[in-house]
Amino acid sequence: MAITPTIYIVASDQHRNGKTLLARIIADYLLLDGHDPFLIDTDAPEGPLRAFFPGRTALADFAAITGQMKLFDTILGSPGRDYVVDLPVRHMESFFAAERDLSFFKECHVQGFRIFLFYMVDNSFTSQKSARSLQRYPGVDLFVPVRNIMVRSAWPEEDGALTLPFLPAPVASAISNRRFSLRSFVQGDVQGLSEENASALQSFLYEVLGNLTNLEPSLSLKNLLS
């Protein structure tokens, strides 16, 4: 991941396709790498991301102006650290509209941030079209299309995507418990998983974390050559 303070925005135009799981993985990856990320969960009132990181997550209801200002002010008011923003489909349009109105990304760059946009591409042409429309969004330093094998993403595998491999249902169910820490698992605490399930999760995380490590240089080169 980047050394420069970075805002990691995880978005999608569809529900239930692994978006919050990816936000969790990014946050835990940063923590494992010695960073101190702060998370912003815009999925109020449920706050699924906040449930996993209660001590370092702000819940900002982006349906309200106060929630929008909370997101922007939190980031711009405390530069110098990483942020992970979980952006559900119902707030996509309003987020980017507010960003344009306030020149938020431009101000983030002034404050020294980089902006990475991870977009979960679902299994329809509409989802791929939505992703393509954001691929060159002004102010985004790195656009990362994400393919989740579980939802048969419409994004072409060969087109520079981050892939979430297959995760068996018992493992997916176990890690959905808010007390389950992916970071602790990587550090050796299997947290009650059977040997078979622990092995499956280890393989899953090994691939995803490895891809995150290699993502920035490979996609940066691809963008330069395109």
**pLDDT tens digits for 117-136?**
999 999 999 999 999 999 99
Location of structure tokens 């970075």: 6
Q: What is the pLDDT of residue 218?
A: 54
Q: Inform me whether the pLDDT recorded for 98 exceeds 80.
A: yes
Q: Inform me whether the pLDDT recorded for 216 exceeds 70.
A: no
Q: Inform me whether the pLDDT recorded for 85 exceeds 90.
A: yes
Q: Inform me whether the pLDDT recorded for 202 exceeds 90.
A: yes
Between strands 6-12 and 142-148, the pairing is unpaired
> Residue 44 and residue 68: Cα distance in Å, rounded?
12
Q: Tell me the whole-structure pTM to 2 decimals.
A: 0.93
Q: Inform me whether the pLDDT recorded for 145 exceeds 70.
A: yes
Query: pLDDT class for 219, splitting at 50, 70, 90?
Result: low
Kindly write down the DSSP assignment for every residue of 157-174, as one continuous string.
TTTT-EEE----HHHHHH
Pair of tokens at residue 217:
């240089």
Q: What is the pLDDT of residue 225?
A: 44
- Look over the chain and give the mean of its residue pLDDT values, rounded to a whole number: 91
The residues pairing with 119 across neighbouring beta strands, listed in sequence order, are 11, 145
Q: Inform me whether the pLDDT recorded for 138 exceeds 60.
A: yes
In the sheet where 6-12 sits, what is the strand order? 57-59, 38-41, 83-87, 6-12, 114-121, 142-148, 162-164
CA atoms within 13 A on the CB side of 128: 13
Alpha helices in the chain (DSSP H): 19-32, 48-52, 65-77, 92-102, 104-110, 125-134, 169-175, 182-186, 195-225
Using the CB atoms, write b or e for 134-160: b if 16+ within 10 Å.
Answer: beeeeebbbbbbbbbebbebbbeeeeb
Least confident window among 146-150, 194-198, 216-220 = 216-220
Q: Inform me whether the pLDDT recorded for 226 exceeds 80.
A: no
Q: What is the pLDDT of residue 78?
A: 95
Q: What is the pLDDT of residue 224?
A: 46
pLDDT > 70: what percent of the chain?
94
pLDDT tens profile 153-174:
999 887 878 999 999 999 999 9
Q: Inform me whether the pLDDT recorded for 222 exceeds 60.
A: no
Q: For residues 7 and 62, which has the higher predicted lDDT (pLDDT)?
A: 7
Q: Could you tell me if 141 and 116 are in contact, meaning their C-beta atoms sit under 8 angstroms apart? A: yes
Q: Inform me whether the pLDDT recorded for 217 exceeds 80.
A: no
